[in-house]
Amino acid sequence: MKERITITLDKDIMKQVDSRVDGTKIKNRSHAVEFFLSKALGSNTIKTAFILAGGKGTRLKPFTYEIPKPMIPVHGMPILQHVIELFKRYGINEIIISIGYKGDKIKEYFGDGIKFGVKIRYIEEDPDVPLGTAGPLLLAKEFLKETFVMTNADELKDIDLDDMYRLHKESKAMATIALTTVEDPSSYGVARLKGSQIVEFVEKPRREEAPSKLINAGLYILEPEILKYIPDGKKEVKIENDVFPKIAKMGKLFGYPFSGQWFDTGTPENYEKAIKRWQGLK
Catalytic residues: 204
Q: Taking every pair of C-alpha atoms in the chain, what is the biggest distance, in angstroms?
A: 63
Q: Which residues of 53-77 are buried (b: 16+ CB within 10 A; e: fewer)?
A: bbbbbebbeebbeebbbbbbebeee
Q: What is the CA radius of gyration of the chain?
A: 20
Cβ-contact 266, 59 below 8 angstroms = yes
C-alpha 67, offset from chain centre: 23
C-alpha 69, offset from chain centre: 18
CB neighbourhood size of 279 (10 A): 9
DSSP 74-134: ETTEEHHHHHHHHHHHTT--EEEEEE-TTHHHHHHHHTTSGGGTSEEEEEE--TTS--TTT
User: Which residues is 73 bridged to in the sheet?
Assistant: 78
Cis geometry, peptide bond prior to residue 62 (ω within 30 degrees of 0)? yes
Work out the angle at residue 75's Cα, subtended by the Cα atoms of residues 69 and 78, and round it to the nearest 5 degrees.
Answer: 30
